[in-house]
Amino acid sequence: MASKDLSIVVPVYNEENSVSILHKEILDILNPLNRSYEVIFVDDGSTDRTLEELKKLSPAKIISFSRNFGKSQALQAGFDEADGNHIVTLDSDLQDDPREIPRFIEKIQSGHDLICGWKQKRADSFSRRFASKIANVAARHMTGIKIHDMNCGFKIYKSQVAKSLHLYGDMHRYIPSVASSMGFSVGEMAVNHRPRQFGASKYGFGRFINSSFDFITLIFLRRFTDRPMHLFGLFGSVLFMLGVLVLGYLSWEKIFYGAAIGGRPLLLLGALLVIVGFQSFSLGFIGELTIRQNREGRQFNIKEKINNI
């Protein structure tokens, strides 16, 4: 049972100048609401003074990673720790405005399981907005959910939604799609987006490339997560059967007509089909086994947990 009304989860990577300002902004908004809450900062292996700054904050829970594991893992660690009925996530670079939190709380009462922020007027560079636009249009078409801004860090979840996501890699970019494929209902709300004040965005060309691969993974996972056999098994069986037919035909020629089949290209093809088919089938089977064993696996590593009351 959740013991608080609200958990705020903030992933932080090298934001030494922002965290104390953000913490104060969050408290200023939450205190007058008369709800019980907690603020959880997950320091994703920052190399600047972020962790020292975080330790000064109270009330706050701080989770510190042993190294940089990425935003998805940071969010997951925060979700594991969170104890609220609802969980709000926001970025720590002060671009998301905590004054939107009460509207998020109101909006999620409307029956959705997850409300995703939408940076309608986005305070980022043109190339950044362009890349994001393309990614979102592609994601909308491929995943069939009508959200403008999947990757917005500002969201509110019913606790069980956040707790059932299993984020890794760069999956945080597609949370609405993952949640909807799990059967949760997803809504969106336009939010105020502020320009970055300190530090630099960690977004770069590398992240753009990686996120394209994540997108392919996502599409693949949507179809085959729980059933790799449906892909590898089908593919493998078809090849295997073709191989058996080819080899059967050659054997028939050899046995009944005494044909010399040793040098026939068809023999090579038949053998390859049988081998590749069998291997693909086994791959599907191993996939099934891995899924069964690795469901709850966590890939990050927590170095320290601090509970400032």
Question: Could you list the residues that contact ligand UDP (CB under 6 A)?
Answer: 11-13, 15, 44, 68, 70-71, 74, 91-93, 153, 201-203
CB 64, min distance to ligand UDP, A: 12
68 makes contact, choosing from ligand UDP, Mg ion, none, with CB < 5 to 8 Å by partner type, with ligand UDP
CB 68, min distance to ligand UDP, A: 5
290 makes contact, choosing from ligand UDP, Mg ion, none, with CB < 5 to 8 Å by partner type, with none
The candidate with the shortest Cα–Cα distance to 65, out of 7, 11, 26, is 11
70 makes contact, choosing from ligand UDP, Mg ion, none, with CB < 5 to 8 Å by partner type, with ligand UDP
CB 196, min distance to Mg ion, A: 6
Residue with smaller CB distance to Mg ion, 112 or 193: 193
12 makes contact, choosing from ligand UDP, Mg ion, none, with CB < 5 to 8 Å by partner type, with ligand UDP
Q: Which residues pair with 62 in a beta bridge?
A: 41, 306
Residue with smaller CB distance to Mg ion, 207 or 264: 207
Contact 121, 159 (CB under 8 A): no
Q: Return the residue matching tokens 């608080």.
A: 4
Residue with smaller CB distance to ligand UDP, 117 or 153: 153
- Please tell me the distance from the alpha carbon of residue 257 to that of residue 300, in angstroms, as a whole number: 64
Residue with smaller CB distance to ligand UDP, 16 or 228: 16
3-state secondary structure of 123: coil
Residue with smaller CB distance to ligand UDP, 114 or 167: 167
- Please tell me the distance from the alpha carbon of residue 143 to that of residue 230, in angstroms, as a whole number: 19
Residue with smaller CB distance to Mg ion, 132 or 280: 132
CB 48, min distance to Mg ion, A: 16
Q: Which residues bind Mg ion (CB under 5 A)?
A: 91, 93, 95
3-state secondary structure of 199: coil
Residue with smaller CB distance to ligand UDP, 177 or 280: 177
The candidate with the shortest Cα–Cα distance to 68, out of 44, 42, 47, is 44
- Please tell me the distance from the alpha carbon of residue 156 to that of residue 113, in angstroms, as a whole number: 8
CB 164, min distance to ligand UDP, A: 21
Per the structure block, which two tokens stand in for 157? 């979840």
Burial 19-32 (b: 16+ CB within 10 A, else e): beebbebbbebbee
CB 58, min distance to ligand UDP, A: 20
3-state secondary structure of 113: coil
Q: Which residues pair with 156 in a beta bridge?
A: 88, 115
16 makes contact, choosing from Mg ion, ligand UDP, none, with CB < 5 to 8 Å by partner type, with none
74 makes contact, choosing from ligand UDP, Mg ion, none, with CB < 5 to 8 Å by partner type, with ligand UDP
Residue with smaller CB distance to Mg ion, 72 or 95: 95
CB 177, min distance to ligand UDP, A: 17
CB 72, min distance to ligand UDP, A: 9
Contact 136, 148 (CB under 8 A): yes
Burial 106-116 (b: 16+ CB within 10 A, else e): ebbeeebbbbb
- Which residues, other chains included, contact 252 with Cβ-Cβ below 8 Å and sequence gap of 6+? none
